[in-house]
Amino acid sequence: MWLLLVVLSSLLRIQAWKGSLKCFLGALKMEMTEVTGVSLKRGSLAVEGSDSMAPAEEAKRQKVLDSCLPTVQDGLEHGSPPTSGHVPGPPEAVNAGQGRKNSDVQLEEEEEEEEDGLSEEAEEEEEAESFADMMKHGLTELDVGITKFVSSHQGFSGILKERYSDFVVHEIGKDGRISHLDDLSVPVDEEDPSEDVFTVLTAEEKQRLEELQLFKNKETSVAIEVVEDTKEKRTIIHQAIKSLFPGLETKTEDREGKKYIVAYHAAGKKALANPRKHSWPKSRGSYCHFVLYKENKDTMDAINVLSKYLRVKPNIFSYMGTKDKRAITVQEIAVLKITAQRLAHLNKCLMNFKLGNFSYQKNPLKLGELQGNHFTVVLRNITGTDDQVQQAMNSLKEIGFINYYGMQRFGTTAVPTYQVGRAILQNSWTEVMDLILKPRSGAEKGYLVKCREEWAKSKDPAAALRKLPVKRCVEGQLLRGLSKYGMKNIVSAFGIIPRNNRLMYIHSYQSYVWNNMVSKRIEEYGLKPVPGDLVLKGATATYIDEEDVNNYSIHDVVMPLPGFDVIYPKHKISEAYREMLTADNLDIDNMRHKIRDYSLSGAYRKIIIRPQNVSWEVVAYDDPKIPLFNTDVDNLEGKPPPVFASEGKYRALKMDFSLPPSTYATMAIREVLKMDTSIKNQTQLNTTWLR
């Protein structure tokens, strides 16, 4: 009877299957301290709900967008991360001052003009149709060395990210404060123009000005007639053009007895990326810092959307860390010489975004400056008893979890990213090219399949590139490079891929080695420090001696990611490192590469992480669609917190905890549920009844 109920319950979920898969797959793309969109359910498939909009709501959303979006599309929103699914982590950093490396101006301009040419619906359909195939070819935790647990409690089932609102991330800044959106007011500044700048121009005038600003036509200027001519009206039009279209200058001209405001380019294309210095008050900090609240958008997507609405380049934004798509996230952003007034105006235009807590500062933000992230996570429909939950959460609070690199570090396709990284370190460039471009098993978008087939047939990069409507993916960038530099110069061709993405491959290999070695270390010596282990004193690693072993705990022990500037433990695990790298045709004593970018210095990483600020509660609920806690926006709108009944159809575990940077919340939740977090494992549990 119980089995029949499970099957019936699971069959009901199929109705939302296709709409859910895009979120299910996309959630694995996050990096560092973010959690994948995996449904952790024992014995039955539990994909996330699609949270799709009703037609009326979608129409309303489109109406709002149409009233705010520039008419001419520049492709920034749809061209956000320039990677395909098998590249974990963010694309090229967009911090202020960073530009493209390894690509010439022509390629850059081509990418700016490019449109994806694919609708989200079409992508969703393809992913849904090929999802069953993906089940057969993905990685499991065992494949990447994730094999151990630290706790002894019995595991239980739960659904993670059934709704993206079940997963909220608040950034912890360098001062230790948790970022919250709690103030939408704009700082009073006498230098700001009036609110009329947002309405004085017609839609047609905005379109013409944007085309001029983005060099979309051959016009050298745009003239706007001043109706109801007054000095005040002319001033507002001047201010509107200069503030809404950075890079344009204005002047007043008399033509046949009528007054015109003429807009023209002040400094060519560079003005787009470098707002005019003289338009910014000297007494005001050059950077406007703000808190960004976003729903179901990753950081790179969000930056691209903001830059599109503001009509500026994405590289004038900076931030401390990237955040997940399949979540609600709150983080600090800084932008160069854009006023809080303009940013606050976006709150009237954008759905699923809120900007607030504005301030002007002298400096941008830098990647890595954050102290970590605070997570609020709901695991719905849990099966564990209250005692099981109590044991699991007490263990997480008191002992912690193994600090493994999560599955998203290694990609979601049949060619793991660590294999590409290993080939780079081996200097096997033909293999690097083949691993990225060759046909592969498992689910992929149709255009990528056609591109790979063309490559396998002709080995003609130009012909394969023509099969790609989206050329900003890694495959497209590599094929561009091969077209430019030729098949005999794969190194330079590979260099066209943004540096951050190239380095992700070799970092993935380091992570693969680290995971395997930590599992061996825990298997060999358990959860206590032993002589020969490594601990950090400041930034320097030192060995634990026999007489000092009682002065340390397992939470002090670190292990190295392989490199030329690290030391290895003085026990059996040292030889295990050497054996693993030797088997991969790498020399552990010489981790320097002929190409400096690919030389690995190494680093140290704690093997056990104990989360901070851990709290939890089990709540009962009847409606799976209701939110189980308030967000920052809910609080701003004065919504009362949810009230729970003493009994309900379902039970949920609501968890709060803080983690340092570069740790994976996936691995903390894995420790609580005792579940394999890979897509392959979660789906193969359920393939029988899907057939």
Q: Which residues are known catalytic residues? A: 324
- One-letter amino acid at 546 equals E
Query: Cα 114 to chain center, whole Å?
Result: 22
Task: Please give the DSSP secondary-structure letter assigned to residue 43.
Answer: S
Task: Please give the DSSP secondary-structure letter assigned to residue 645.
Answer: B
Query: Cα 375 to chain center, whole Å?
Result: 16
d(Cα 78, Cα 90) in Å, to the nearest integer? 15
d(Cα 214, Cα 646) in Å, to the nearest integer? 59
CB half-sphere exposure, 425, CA atoms < 13 A: 30
Tokens for 83, please give them: 């990677």
- Contact assessment for residue 678 and residue 402, using Cβ atoms and an 8 Å cutoff: no
- Going by C-alpha positions, the residue among 563, 558, 524 that lies closest to residue 542 is 558
- SS3 call for 11: helix
- Contact assessment for residue 153 and residue 392, using Cβ atoms and an 8 Å cutoff: yes
Q: Which residues contact 407 (CB under 8 A, 6 or more apart)?
A: 28, 36, 139, 141, 144, 146, 666, 677, 678, 679
> What are the start-end ranges of the E strands in 70-160?
159-160
The CA-atom distances, in angstroms, between 384 and each of 1, 268, 618 are 20, 63, 10
Residue in the structure block whose two tokens are 């003609």? 460
The CA-atom distances, in angstroms, between 636 and each of 184, 235, 473 are 9, 35, 39
- One-letter amino acid at 132 equals A
- Contact assessment for residue 337 and residue 286, using Cβ atoms and an 8 Å cutoff: yes
CB half-sphere exposure, 135, CA atoms < 13 A: 18
The CA-atom distances, in angstroms, between 679 and each of 36, 130, 196, 379, 530 are 9, 14, 51, 17, 36
Q: Angle of helix 17-26 relative to helix 120-129, nearest 10 degrees?
A: 100
Backbone CA torsion sign across 563, 564, 568, 574: positive
Cβ neighbours of 178 (radius 10 Å):
15
First-last CA distance in the chain: 21
- Contact assessment for residue 36 and residue 162, using Cβ atoms and an 8 Å cutoff: no
